[in-house]
Amino acid sequence: MSQRVRFAATVAALDAVWLSNEAPGVLPGSAAYAPDGRGGVLIRDGGTPLALVDGHGTWLGWLG
For residue 62, give the H/E element and its range.
Answer: strand 60-62
62: pLDDT strictly greater than 90: yes
What are the percentages of helix, strand and coil residues in the chain, rounded to 5?
Answer: 15, 25, 60
Mean pLDDT, the chain, as a whole number? Answer: 82
Confidence of residue 49 (pLDDT cuts 50, 70, 90): confident
- Number of C-beta neighbours around residue 44 at 10 A: 13
User: Is the whole-model pTM more than 0.85?
Assistant: no
**Rounded alpha-carbon distances, angstroms, from residue 16 to 10, 19, 38, 47:** 11, 10, 29, 14
Give me the helices (H) in 1-64, please: 3-12
